[in-house]
Structure 1
Amino acid sequence: MAKNKFHDGPGPSQRQLRVGELIRRALSEVLTRGDVHDPELNRLSVTVGEVRMSPDLKVATAYVSALGGAGEADLIPFLARNKPELRRIIGKTLALKYAPDLRFRHDTTFDQMDEARRLFAQEEVRRDIEE
């Protein structure tokens, strides 16, 4: 099994989890308030589902989605285009020693939940669960 750079053992450390949650909250607030000087990004309602930190806390991967799916295809390019400004705001807001490099990925959590519901609704699966 290939190693994931976010999981070098049993899972992320408490520090990784804590810093990731701080960045998630700060990023959510910045995007909600429209603090970024980009009207195209500000017109989207962005949900930040999770932020995963690298073990050295130098890379923050934010899992994001557009609320209601509107503008989903444009979301990652808009965020990437504004990465330097977002990084500066996050670093200043949290007063971190080192502002992490921000990376953005689509949050597929809701898609996975829909797929799980679909699987559990299948007759064969329901029959196996009930036995």
Structure 2
Amino acid sequence: MRPVVRQLRQPAGRRRHRVLRDGDGARVTRQLTKHQHHAGSGHAPSQRQLRVAEEIRHVLAGLFTRNEFRDPDLAAAQITVTEVRISPDLKHATAFVSRLGRSDVDALLPALHRAAPYLRGQVAKALQLRAAPDITFQPDHALDYAMKIDELMHRPEIARDLEQKD
């Protein structure tokens, strides 16, 4: 006789209400959504996510260095991949890109989105993953922000204030 497979019983609705205490000790009920209740959204990326994201960044950087594109908008552009973030299931990747010495990376986003299937195929050839991730591109304005802060720090009135503190 074969044993019967049974599932564990769970409370209906999966307990989405929690009672919290505020600063005065009063009870405050907070409704949690399904996405807040489960782990994954607020956690740091795993080691595998970081490793795969860095490999994707390396492959994309090599492709942009070699300029193997038919699209004339991408062939003439010097694109830098500053960071890649990947979802926990490794199916969606976001690549943050910037242009060397220029801040008009927003103009290249349509061309990058047109080239995304080609880039996904090249990433799939280079990496041994179960499924190649969908790649989306976002502009990285961190370098522009850093240059702006550096420019502000070198202004005479700011330099004078910094010297007085030393």
TM-score band, normalised by the shorter chain?
0.7 to 0.9
Q: Does 1:90 align with 2:133?
A: no
Per the alignment, in what secondary structure is the counterpart of residue 69 of structure 1?
Answer: coil
Q: Does 1:76 align with 2:109?
A: yes
Tell me which structure has the larger Cα radius of gyration: 2
Q: Which residue of 1 aligns with 2:95?
A: 62
Candidates 70, 76, 96, aligned match of 1:43: 76
Residue 36 of structure 1 and its aligned partner are, at CA, apart by 2.7
Describe the shift of the 1:30–1:87 C-alpha distance in structure 2 as closer, same or farther (beyond 3 A): same
Q: Deviations over 1:68-118 (max 9, x none)?
A: 217523211110011111111111111221100101011111123234443
TM-score, length basis structure 2: 0.64
Structure 2: state its 5+ residue gaps: 1-35
**Highest relative contact order (Cα 8 Å, sep 6+), 1 or 2?**
1
Same amino acid, percent of matched pairs: 41
Q: Which residue of 1 aligns with 2:42?
A: 8
Look up the equivalent residue of 1:95 and give its one-letter code: Q
Describe the shift of the 1:7–1:109 C-alpha distance in structure 2 as closer, same or farther (beyond 3 A): farther
Look up the equivalent residue of 2:61 and give its one-letter code: S
Describe the shift of the 1:22–1:70 C-alpha distance in structure 2 as closer, same or farther (beyond 3 A): same
Q: Say what the alpha-carbon RMSD is for the aligned residues.
A: 2.7
TM-score, length basis structure 1: 0.79
Describe the shift of the 1:84–1:115 C-alpha distance in structure 2 as closer, same or farther (beyond 3 A): same
Look up the equivalent residue of 2:65 and give its one-letter code: T
More helix by share: 1
Number of matched pairs = 125
Structure 1: state its 5+ residue gaps: none
Candidates 62, 68, 74, aligned match of 1:29: 62
